[in-house]
Amino acid sequence: MNLPPQFITQTQSLLGDVEWQKLSEALEEPQPISIRLNQNKIDKYGICLSQDIFESIPWCESGFYLSARPTFTYDPLFHSGAYYVQEASSMFIEQIVKQHLPHKNIVALDLCAAPGGKTTLLRSLLPSNSLLIANEIVRKRAQILSENLLKWGHPDVIVTNNSSEDFSEYTNMFDLIVADVPCSGEGMFRKDEGAIAEWSVENVDVCWKRQRDIISSIWHSLKPGGLLIYSTCTYNTKENEENVAWILDTYGAQSLPVQIEDSWNITRSLYSKTLNTYRFMPHKTKGEGFFVSVIQKPLEEDDVVEFRFPKEKGKNKKRITAQEAINNKIFEESINWVNNSNEVYDSVVYNDTLFAFPKLYMPYLQLYQKEKMRIVHAGTPIAYIKGKSCIPHHALALSNLLQINTFEQVEISYEQAIAYLRKEAITLPVMTSKGFVILTYKNMPLGFVKSLGNRSNNLYPTEWRIRSGYMPQQLLTL
C-alpha cells in the first residue's frame, strides 16, 4: 500500500514506532467482511441463513464476520432487507445506545447518514415508538439512504436531503444526534484506495474545521441532557480527540464513558486520559479504523427541554388528508394492506402516494413539509396511483407493516428471484389468481407482480434493478 509520506510521519508520531509497524502491516491484509442481520424480518419470516460461515462480532448482537465475501448483488436476501453489509467497527454504536439511551420514546437525528449502516442499526435499537430522522446532504447519496431504509422495513423514519444548517432553527428538537462527520478517511485506506489519493495535511485541516462548523450548527437542536454521538473513520487527533475536547470546552458538555471488554482490544484516547473516546485500530481489532465518543449536553434547572412547534402559517397544497382520499374511493382497499391493529399509524396522501406514518410524530412531518426541508420519504409508502389504478408500493412488500395475508403469495426459485430483480418477466403457476401477488424467496417477501392470468407485470422499481446481465462464475449467497 503506497501511503502518503506525511500520513506515515504523522501516524508514526501518534502511535510510536512499534504500534505503527503493526498498523502498517495490518493495512496490507485483506479487510474483514461483516454483516448485520435484520432480526425483525428473520424472526417474522423464519429465515435460516448459513450459520457455519458466521463469527459473532462481540460488541453487536446481530453482527457477524463472514469467512468469505458473498456475491451480495446476486443475493435476493440482501435485496429483501434480511441483512445489511456494514463495517464491524462502526457497529460499536450499539453499546452506546444500550448503555446510555433512556428507555422511552425519543426523537433522534442521524445527521450524515448515507449510505445507512449506522442508520439501520440505530433504527433497530431505538426504543419503540421513537422517531428517527435520517439526513444526507448529497442528493444522490440521500436516494441510496432512502432505498436502504425502505429495504430495512421500519416505518418510523423520515429521510431528508438537507445541510446541517437547516436543522439549526429547531431548538431542543432531538434527544439524540449521531454525527458521523465527513472526515479525511484515514481509517478507510484498506477499504478504499481512493481515500489514499485524496489524503493530504491540508485536507485534514479542512476536515477538522468543517466538523466543528457542523457541530456548531446542530448543537442547539440537541435537547439539554441529550446525547451527541460523534464519530469519524480517521486516526489523527485533530479530527478526533481535539474536536471532542473543543466540544466539551465550548459548550460545557460532558464526556460519557462506555463499558467495554478487554478482549475487544479497543484503544482509548491517544490525546488525553480525561476524555472518554474509543478507537478501533485494524492491528488490534477486527475491523477498519473508527473513532467514537458520546457527549452529553448540560442540563440546567431552567432549561426548556421540549421542542416548541411553531404555529402553522399555511397548508401544503400538495398534501391532502387520507380521509379525503378514502372518501373519494382512491385508496380505500389499500388501507387494509397495512397491519395497524393498534391504530398507531395515520395515513397521509402526498403526490398521489399513500403513506403510513406514526400519529404521535405527525407534527414533525407537517413541520418538515415546508420548502426548506427536502423530504425523500417518510414512513412507509403503501400505494400509488397510476392512471385510474391503485398499485401497491414496492416498499410495502419490505415493510414491517405489511399485512401479507391480504395478498396471494408465490414462492420462487433463485433463478426466478434474480430475473425478478432484473425486472424481467416472471411466469407464475397456472393456478395463480389474477391481481397483485407477493413473490417470496426463502419465505421472505421480495416484491410485487400483477398476475394477468397467462402472464404477469413485474412491479420491481426500475431504479433498483440489477443492471448486469451476466452471472458470476463463483456464486456465494446467504
For residue 142, the SS3 value is helix
Buried (b) or exposed (e) across 185-213, using 16+ Cβ within 10 A?
A: bbbbbbbeeebbeebeeeebeebbeebbe
Q: To the nearest 10°, report the CA torsion of 220, 225, 229, 235.
A: 90
Distance of alpha carbon 37 from alpha carbon 444, whole angstroms: 14
Asked if 374 and 161 count as a contact pair (C-beta separation under 8 A), the reply is yes
* Tens-level pLDDT at each residue, the chain (478 residues): 899 999 999 999 999 999 999 999 999 999 999 999 999 999 999 988 776 678 999 999 999 999 999 999 999 999 999 999 999 999 999 999 999 998 899 999 999 999 999 999 999 999 989 999 999 999 999 999 999 999 999 999 999 999 999 999 899 999 999 999 999 999 999 988 889 999 999 999 999 999 999 999 999 999 999 999 999 999 999 999 999 999 999 999 999 999 999 999 999 999 888 899 999 999 999 999 999 999 999 988 677 777 878 765 555 445 545 555 554 577 888 888 999 888 999 988 888 899 999 999 999 999 998 768 999 999 999 999 888 789 999 999 999 999 999 999 999 999 999 999 999 999 999 999 999 999 999 999 999 999 998 789 999 999 999 999 888 888 888 8
Per-residue burial over 258-272, b if 16 or more Cβ lie within 10 Å, else e, is bebeeebebbebbbe
CA angle 129, 130, 133 (to 5 degrees): 140
What is residue 142's predicted lDDT score, i.e. its pLDDT?
Answer: 98
Quote the pLDDT of residue 342. Answer: 82
Strand partners, 415: none
